[in-house]
Structure 1
């Protein structure tokens, strides 16, 4: 056993060294300007039609940032601050200018069990207060663990609403069981009702909102505008962070297949692929701890169009992934040591904005 562990350590070290040589840093080509200051964990943010921002502070504050001023939005539901849980993602309805709906995920203690689980709510804002609040989904049961709440929100081209919930640290119970919440991507209509063509609508005892399963902790989700496919990334354990392309009813393998190992060095499984389970199009080993994801359509940055940007919490950089035929063919590390990158958005002005823990939100500026 000692020899096996020693060999595994050597393999992981060599893999890390090889990967490090392939990742070219481009710090010198870009600078940044701080746009919003004094935020601990800007878990997510979104631009409103007037180019102001709504920002979720993980500790439980919803901030409206306009003309350099931050205003707290009151009327939030009870938010449980538990480990990785708190106030999480935020998104606008595609027809926001007409209906004014905003959507957000958060850790909630409502319902069965002690602790918390991920909830999805929609609401409107009037006079800096949330109104018309509607709880659209609440995962059950609650867990006292602070691990793996997810969570990202996305609307597709047909206005279906998708959101992710991590497996809450219950890897042997939740991700492979479609009768349980956790470790899933979910799909709803914008009012919270279940689409009749969801893959498990007619499966006895299944959670009818499930769209895909076998996930660990997805904290990045985008719509690829070239294909209209949903792309996510998710945290692996020690190694094995993944990028996956999501399809209805598919099983993405966790924890039966993974490129990662336990944090203490032991094996989780011997399998990196298995029949009937979807393989990632890309994985990071060692883990970069990905958070936030953005598909670039802007022409503000040389050769960035149709690239994907992913934040690294662990190594504190922005990872530019160059894609060809659904494969990451090259990566570049941008703004190394900028801080723990939590969220990424392409703004209405075409510039990329990045939420960084204990820094705030910055705007990336090309130097030439």
Structure 2
């Protein structure tokens, strides 16, 4: 009778243990995500729980297998080597402890290097972290036990077969992406300014000059043809700039020609305790004067993601400011006791309008205008139809355009069409009683950014349409809303020939389209009809 080979005594136990760790980890993360929703009062029937768990085994487990195997490979290799050095003793303890440390190190490394603060949502809290690490420990016990059982039949000569398996398993192939050729275009794009450090927003002054915010904390003053007049206006509030945090929107007072007031949204604080803040100031020739902070989102949060930051004015003179959920705090978007994941409405001095929907609602923050948002970075008021339009980022899919109504709940994270970045379900529900469904949803995600409602004369076919920047798609999506806002159609993609992330979209006073590209050397671009293009030099 043939006895097991060296590969069987090492690789097969490893594969079995790896599968055990991946399956247990997937099940645990699903239950913690569902528990977070239940804490919000969401009813999750047993059938829905089972279906969600099975979904995550199919969609989350493959990615988790890659992450888990990295630490498991290294930790079990070291554990076996140490056990052999110790004469075969302590293998269970070494494999178990090594698996726990390996997963912990992998999660720490991923959370440090990846854009999301916490990649696997279940590990945002201590209990979730401990539970996930415990699944790794179980996998370590399984590996040690199966390997010892195989060794009773035949002690392996070495670890060479295992090493070959690990080397092969570490390879990955990424698909190539090609771009279609561009047809003749009915517009011309010219560069007005470049070398802008992650420009975020643009505002036109009455005399044609422009203010451009740059995320590191600069407010640049440009002439109407894009020449830099002041590289960085003095007096800009101190900005927390890291990751997605920095200086965001700039908006002029509706009475700017009389009061010279400018409003700035920005991240303030530190990596450990930060907020979305709003300041107003008087614009002087080369600086901002009388700068004062008029709003600070509460409470403070950690990390450098999901701040919102768009500003719009309503016809009654009140101001709308969008906020984000801070990424790791998504359940707080359903908590009226804080500003996280909400849209707020303020008077021009930062005080609370007394007709806000939650002014007299228990412990609710009185500034809140709507709740249940993830990260709102597009905002316009439609004067013709008297409606406030916003869009927000989903995770993997679930980007939304919404018509914002006072006091409404837009569902995040109870209802969304998107998946988490890991492939896991954020929620079993795409819609849920008491929450507003989106007017339009993008899945997969386009990563919507700035948004304009076109009303100019230069591009007649775009009149009344939304122009939505798309960071992932590297284009602008043209969207047409129905008059009653009950439906919307994504008509086409524009300006994709640029191949650049579009951060903001604005309509200029003359009807041209202005774009800001998001990069360390970002550009301000102007889009004009071809027949009005300047002659070649």
Give the TM-score, by structure 1 length. Answer: 0.91
Kept in 2, the 8 Å contact 1:315–1:337? The answer is no
Which of residues 501, 505, 514 is equivalent to 1:353? Answer: 514
What residue in structure 1 maps to residue 263 of structure 2?
103
Q: Tell me the equivalent position of 1:115.
A: 273
- Structure 1: unaligned runs, 5 residues or longer: 10-23
Q: Please state if 1:190 is matched with 2:353.
A: no
- In the alignment, which residue of structure 1 is the partner of 2:187? 30
2:206 to 40, 49, 57: 49
SS of alignment partner, residue 28 of structure 1 = coil
Alignment partner, residue 425 of structure 2? 267
- Shift in Å, 1:42: 1.2
User: How far did residue 329 of structure 1 move?
Assistant: 2.3
More strand by percentage: 1
Work out whether 1:319 is the aligned partner of 2:477.
yes
> Where does residue 14 of structure 1 map in the other structure?
none
Comparing 263-272 and 210-219, the one that deviates more: 263-272
C-alpha displacement of 1:365: 1.9
Distance between the aligned counterparts of 1:152 and 1:316, measured in 2?
A: 20
1:284 paired residue among 434, 442, 445 = 442
Contact 1:105 1:120 in 2 (8 A): yes
- Over 3 Å counting, the alpha-carbon distance change for 1:342 and 1:142 in structure 2 is same
CA distance in 2, matches of 1:292, 1:125: 24
Q: What is the CA deviation profile of residues 249-270 of structure 1, one whole-angstrom value per residue up to 9, with x for unaligned ones?
A: 1100000000001101111111
Q: How many residues align?
A: 353
Q: Which residue of 2 aligns with 1:15?
A: none
Let me know the Cα RMSD of the aligned residues: 2.2
Report which stretch shifted further, 331-340 or 156-165.
Answer: 331-340
Name 1:342's counterpart in structure 2. Answer: 503
Structure 1 residue 337, shift from structure 2 partner: 4.5
Asked if structure 1 preserves the Cα contact closer than 8 Å seen for 2:330 and 2:341, the reply is no
Deviation of residue 170 (structure 1)?
3.4
SS at match of 2:510: coil
| Residues 43-192 of structure 1 mapped to structure 2, 5 A cutoff | 43-66=200-223, 68-71=227-230, 72-109=232-269, 114-192=272-350
Structure 2 distance, partners of 1:191, 1:6, is: 51
Q: Contact 2:474–2:502 (CA<8 Å) still a contact in 1? A: yes
Q: Could you tell me whether the CA contact under 8 Å between 2:376 and 2:393 is conserved in 1?
A: yes
Gaps in structure 2 of 5+ consecutive residues: 1-22, 27-53, 61-180, 532-537
Offset of 1:197 from its aligned partner? 0.6
Worse-matched range after superposition: 26-35 or 265-274: 26-35
Q: Which has the higher helix share?
A: 2
Higher relative contact order (CA 8 A, sep 6+): 1
Q: CA 1:170/1:330 → structure 2, altered by over 3 Å: closer, same or farther?
A: closer
The residue that corresponds to 1:251 in the other structure is 409
Q: Which has the larger radius of gyration?
A: 2
Inter-partner Cα distance in structure 2 for 1:330 and 1:340 = 19
| Other structure's SS at 1:98 match | helix
Q: Identify if the C-alpha distance between structure 1 residues 171 and 116 changes in structure 2 by more than 3 Å, giving closer, same or farther.
A: closer
